[in-house]
Amino acid sequence: MTEVLVVAGPAAAGEYVADILARAIQTDPETVLGLATGSTPLPIYAALAERVRTEGIDVSSVSGFALDEYVGIDPAHEQSYHHVIDAEVTQTLGLNPERVHVPSGNPDTLESAGAAYEEAIRAAGGVGWQILGIGANGHIGFNEPGSPIDSLTRQVPLTEQTRQDNARFFDSIDDVPRHAITQGVGTILRAGHLFLLAFGEHKADAVARAINGPVSPEIPASAIQQHPNVTVLLDAAAASGLDAAEYTVVTGTPAGV
Ligand code: PGA
């Protein structure tokens, strides 16, 4: 079932998801988190870090699997997702770095990297809680339009739109990698619970098509309709392409969720 919630904004969405994740980790110290990069999930990491600190939650056995990485980028590069996940998640939450995984974008080992990543997820018991953003073109992870619904971790080309969206993080558009390695749509669908977050009017069309459109590789995020446990958290602008009857406005904390 897809539950669609409209909250006041990114901070409220972060609190909402962090509350659920904090309780999940307290119940199962070996919780496996699916980690997204981008600006959208940052409020979750900030709110969860605060909970970890104030409530003394033990995260030493928590694992994390990032969705994706650029191909051919030095893992030490500021914009590599190895670096971003380390700075924004591993260090912020105080996770054990050995338990936090990012697919390898090393061009020399790409052929086996996808299968190796799938196997690492499987060996950890699968992702329990997957955090997702959505691209303005409907991508999830770096699964661009055209990505098969049953795709697994693999190398993919990046669209010009995604390269332009991400150019702000690089010196110039020419520095933005042209390929990435990403968990597939099928990989994402194997997670126990999906949280998809979107904020801002520029996401409204992609959100509406993900929730109401046909399930199609053209809108990879539409695959969430095939998952039994999905929570979509939006601000009012990102929900502007939906009918009010399709979502619940949430003003408080997720007590009872
Ligand atoms: P954003 O990216 O969080 O930076 O908006 C989301 C995405 O492209 O998946």
Average pLDDT, the chain: 96
Residues with CB under 6 A from ligand 1: 38-40, 133-135
Task: Please give the distance, rounded to the nearest whole angstrom, from the Cα atom of residue 142 to the centre of ligand 1.
Answer: 10
Q: Is the pLDDT score of 256 beyond 50?
A: no
What ranges do the domains of the chain cover? Answer: 2-249
> Pick from 13, 27, 112: which is nearest to 61 by CA?
27
Confidence of residue 257 (pLDDT cuts 50, 70, 90): very low
**Atom of ligand 1 lying closest to residue 132 CA:** 9
- Catalytic residue numbers, as ranges: 68, 137, 139, 144
Task: Please give the distance, rounded to the nearest whole angstrom, from the Cα atom of residue 197 to the centre of ligand 1.
Answer: 9
Tens-place pLDDT, residues 183-193 = 999 999 999 99
How much is the pLDDT for 107? Answer: 96
Cβ count within 10 A of residue 209? 19
Q: Is the pLDDT score of 253 beyond 80?
A: no
Confidence of residue 252 (pLDDT cuts 50, 70, 90): confident
Tens-place pLDDT, residues 68-119 = 999 999 999 999 999 999 999 999 999 999 999 999 999 999 999 999 999 9
Instruction: Answer yes or no: CATH 1.10.10.10 is held by domain 2-249.
Output: no
